[in-house]
Structure 1
């Protein structure tokens, strides 16, 4: 039990990455942090936004369209939060509805038909948890995105730019290369939600953040994330333009090698990449015993 003084959950040691986990969560949620539209203005050129899921909705929490990256045409899809209270409310705090996930799916399928690579920018606390979203098929929409991205015959690079929360993040993060900004977080549940389940109250969120191993260095070591994208000091919101240029460089270095890989090989490697996450290691099994 987490409250038993004789048991210490993983990550409660004094290592540097663990000690900074809660501060990283706070930085990832900072309202000044660059959004998808900010990155599209600086890291990309000629962005043309495409709207709607062709089934009756145009979720404002997901933006996407055609753009150029160093002269190469790409399809970019990402979560959009905002900076002010009004923007955050209008964009539902970046929490996509089923229409948002279906819009993203429509755009990545269009990219595959046009032979364009896909870049996804992930920044969401999670999918829309409302009753209306569930009624309209939230779980099915997320599942269809995960399935379709896993077999999409075109290069995909995903970047966790802020919060990568649960299924809402994974719906855009099945990719050949998964990158993560230095002060982003990526987790199956928020620290507050984890604390409410495993500890007496949500006040244990900093402890939960350390236990979840949700920082970029932790996830790079675990193999969940392929590369860490540096941010201007002390964080991206202090120099949004500099952060966008660093993101652009990271995208180019990870995307260009994928352009010459045959589609069938891309799909096979991508599926193998995610299947490995479920393989138990001997050391892990021994530790559990």
Structure 2
């Protein structure tokens, strides 16, 4: 399949490489051209512009936030203007429900299709093709895209025919991860101040009550204080907390814990933690208990 890929950051670089490895013809664009050049050495074609990456039946975008997606999608030389009729834009980015609605309307209006397919997994999972894909959009499009999703992840969950629902599910999952990080951090701060080894405490938790990837991965980062380099930066965690609160307001669903999570991210960022891994959210409790500042 001929696939345009836009966005070769921590996640996108591994995802695009796996599409190449699966035998797809990949045309890649990145704002920093050296990343596209590196992928070209593995068999992709480096596109000089967004429009050049749209000469395909499918264009996948994997970008940091709403503004980045808007910048490559709308306006002169953007995806909507450049993509052929009947082609499909797959957004793997974690974006707002409101933007997903705008994207769907714009693509349908241009005779194209839009599928939201955000993913669960950190950069190491992206590189290993072990992501979980959450897809929503026209069923016939999702069926045709299955070879793409199979190259990216270990399982695809189809949640709705309405693209924005995939973004709601993704935001809800990220909210739960952040809540795990915060609660783990508070518990580790408590037992750590009493002299309990945090690694041993984590081993107890994951061997008994909480044998789950989120506890193992983020508990390990917290126990080791390993927040650099960031797999997912803290400022993006704050972005997701804001987006899930916006979704809660739109759907008239109170989310008091999400409000707390947003404020805890603000505390982390106010202390200089913008570019730390969002796991550093859990280290704020230790900092407040008299321990080191996250990242210090």
| TM-score between both structures, scaled by the size of structure 2 | 0.28
Q: Which has the higher contact order (CA 8 A, sep 6+)?
A: 1
Query: Which structure is larger by alpha-carbon Rg, 1 or 2?
Result: 2
Q: Which has the higher helix share?
A: 2
